[in-house]
Amino acid sequence: MSDTGHRVLIHYCSQCRWMLRASWTAQELLTTFDGDIAEVVLKPGTGGIFEVRVDDQLIWSRKDEGRFPELSELKQKLRDIIDPQRDLGHSDKKT
């Protein structure tokens, strides 16, 4: 669990006061994917950025999508990369 596993990066706009949102997202991912995530990086940024990357692969960009992710769809995207066979339970239902 310590040095294996995936690296999640949450790059958020601190000027927009999205730190708590980013931190909450980190908590949710660390809870759901306990044992599969090596680390979650909280990275302050500017200019309205809210991006989530897994192993440097972009899985969410607020600029591209025009909105924040639902946590369930973020978890689905993460799951599809790190453990495609996993059933996420209620997070796999349509939002």
How far apart, in Å, are the Cα atoms of 77 and each of 7, 44, 48?
Answer: 14, 22, 22
CA distance 89 to 39: 23
CB of 93 to its own copies, least distance (A): 25
Using CB under 8 A as the binding criterion, the count of chain residues that bind its own copies stands at 22
> What's the DSSP call for residue 49?
-
For its own copies, the binding residues in 29-68 under the rule CB under 8 A are 30-31, 34-35, 37-46
Task: Give the residues lining the site for its own copies (CB under 8 A).
Answer: 1-2, 14, 19-20, 23, 26-27, 30-31, 34-35, 37-46
